[in-house]
Structure 1
C-alpha cells in the first residue's frame, strides 16, 4: 500500500491514469474502488488493480494453465532487470499467485549487471538506448531478492545456452518479460525459444516492454526480432492476439497491447487426439432433443 501511494505522487502516473483509466466507462472505475478495498486477488487482477498488471495477468494465467495440466511448478523469466523494480514486483505477485493456485513459481532474472551493451546499428534504436543505460545496484538488489529469485549475470548470448540446460519439464516456462530494448539482445533471448517443447507451457505468455514509442517499428527493435523469429520457425509462433483486449474489463491500458502469445505448436498437448471430457454438443432453441439446454417450452 505504501509503495502504491508513493507511485501516485508521480506526475507520469497521473497522466497514465487520466489517459488509460479515466477514459474507461465511469461505472467500471466506480466498481474498481470497491474491488480495490474488498476484492480478492483474482478480482484485482481482472480490474487492473495490481501494480504492473502485465505481470499479474500473465503469471496468474500461466499458473492456472499449469494447474489444469497437473503441474506443480512453473518458471518465470525476466530479461533486463536493471535496478530490479520489475523483478521485485514479480516476486511479490508470484507469492500471491502461489497462495491462490497452489502452483510454485521459480523466478529468474537476466542482466549484465553493468547496464546495456553497445548498440549494434539502427536496428537497436540508438536514438532511444545506448551503452551503459539502466545499470544495476547489484549488492542491494541481491539482498532484497535473496531466496526469492535467481539472478543470472552476463550478456544474453553468454548465459542463455547454459540456462537452457537447466530447464526442466517439471517446471516449464510460463511467462517471459522481455525488456532488453535492443533488436540484437532480443534475438539472443529468442534462442531460448528453440528449447524442447516440454520446457514451455503450450501457450506461454511474453510481455514486450519496448514496442510502444513512436520510432519502434517492425524493421527495428523487438518488433523486428519477433517478425524474423516467426519467419524462420515452422512450429513456434509469437503472435499478438487481436481479441485479447476484448476479454479485458479495462481495454485502454498500454500493457494489453504488449502481451504476446508464444505458441509451442510441437508441444505434445497440441497432438493429443483424445481428450478426457464429454463430447461438445451445440444447443438449438428451435429443436427439442435430450441435452438441449436452450429449447423453447
Structure 2
C-alpha cells in the first residue's frame, strides 16, 4: 500500500519534476546503490538514502527518536502545524510507526489546525501574493475517521490550543520535532510559542521544518524567516537556526527539503547544564606522533 502511494505521488502533482531535478542529477552509483537499499535495507538506511515519502518528516522523526534513546527516554511527541486535508499528518503517523519499530521509542503525533482554512493576510509580511483567505480547508470528519490511535488532532486557534497542549507534556515524553506549515508570517508568530514551555518538555535539539521558505518572494523580512528572527531576538536561551551542516551529512545533497530544515536549540535544557551534563568516560584523543 505504501509503495503504491509513493508511486502515485511520484507521478502526480509535479513530483516527477523533483525526481529529475533532485534525484537523477545525483551521482549514478548512489542511485544504483539505492535500488539495493530499497529492496533490502533497514528503515534507517532507507531514510539515509531518501527512500521514503516526505523525507522532511522521516529524517527529523528518526533523529528525534535516536536522540531520545541516547537520553534514556522511552517516548516522544512530534507535531504538525498546518494540517489542511491531512495527507502530511497521516504520512507522519506512518513514519512514526516505522521509526518506533526501528528504534523502540514510542511516538505520539499531534496535529494543529483551525479546520477552516487560512485566515485573511495581515499585510505584506504574510506573502499574500502566494496565499489567501480560505486556502487549504479541512474535511474534519473524514480526516478524524482516518487517524490512527497514536494521533491527536487539535482544532482551533493555536493561541488557545498550544497552552492546553503544553500543559499535557511531561519530561517522560518530550517534544522531539515540529513541522511548521502555516504559510503566513502572522500564523508562524502565533505558532512558535509552542517552544516556550519548560526545558524538559523538549529534547535539547528539536528539528523544525519550515515548509514555506522556498518561494522566490521569501526573504528574512517576511514569512516564516521573519517570525524566526523575531523569536530569536525575544529569547536569550532558545534559538532557531538552520540545521547544522545537514547538507554535508546527507548522501543525496540536492533535495530542497534540506534548505527547509532548521533546529530549535534549547540552551536551558538540563542536558546542557555543566552541573548535570556529565559523561561516564573522559574524552581522549590518541596522538600517533607521540612515542
The reply to whether TM is greater than 0.5 is yes
TM-fit CA distance, 1:67: 0.8
- How is 1:59-78 mapped onto 2 (pairs within 5 angstroms)? 59-78=61-80
Distance 2:86 2:62 in 1: 21
What's the counterpart of residue 177 of structure 2?
175
What's the counterpart of residue 277 of structure 1?
280
Q: Secondary structure at the match of 2:110?
A: strand
* Contact kept? 2:37, 2:45, Cα under 8 Å: yes
TM-fit CA distance, 1:241: 3.2
- How is 1:135-154 mapped onto 2 (pairs within 5 angstroms)? 135-154=137-156
What's the counterpart of residue 235 of structure 1?
237
Distance 2:279 2:196 in 1: 30
Q: Which aligned runs of 4 or more in structure 1 are off by greater than 4 angstroms?
A: none
Q: Secondary structure at the match of 2:65?
A: helix
- How is 1:174-213 mapped onto 2 (pairs within 5 angstroms)? 174-213=176-215
TM-fit CA distance, 1:158: 2.5
TM-fit CA distance, 1:146: 4.2
TM-score (structure 2 length as normaliser): 0.96
What's the counterpart of residue 250 of structure 2?
248
What's the counterpart of residue 11 of structure 2?
9
Matched, 1:217 2:224: no
Q: Secondary structure at the match of 1:150?
A: strand
Paired residue for 1:25, among 15, 27, 47? 27
Distance 2:267 2:285 in 1: 27
Distance change in 2, residues 1:69/1:258 (3 Å)? same
* Contact kept? 2:83, 2:112, Cα under 8 Å: yes
RMSD of the alignment, in Å? Answer: 1.2
Larger radius of gyration between Structure 1 and Structure 2? 1
TM-score (structure 1 length as normaliser): 0.94
> Unaligned 5+ residue runs, structure 1?
289-297
